[in-house]
Amino acid sequence: MKNSLWIGVFIGVFAPAFAYILTNYTSFVQQFFPTKPFVFYILAAAVNLVLVRIYYRRERPQDNIAKGVIISTFLGMLFILYFYKVHI
């Protein structure tokens, strides 16, 4: 696979997009985590961080892909903070 930043961004968008779909279009959050509505977003960030670890630990490190995954994770968390008006 080509070591490209854009490929990393594309790969890193999958887990947060899946978390968004599970949170907004299914009732999994209300059934399993009624008091924690952001649990799927946290799991998506954890999946992306595992992907970063995998891409950095390869025999030929693909650091640009890992950087793209980090960028998409960071931007996804900023969107959550902005759109859900989460106060830190």
pLDDT tens sequence across 1-24: 788 899 999 999 999 999 889 888
The total of other beta-carbon atoms located within 10 Å of residue 12's CB is 27
User: Has residue 82 got a pLDDT over 90?
Assistant: no
Instruction: Name the residue ranges covered by the structural domains of the chain.
Output: 5-83
pLDDT tens sequence across 52-69: 999 989 888 888 999 999
pTM: 0.83
Please tell me the predicted confidence (pLDDT) of residue 31.
Answer: 86
Higher-confidence position of 47 and 87: 47
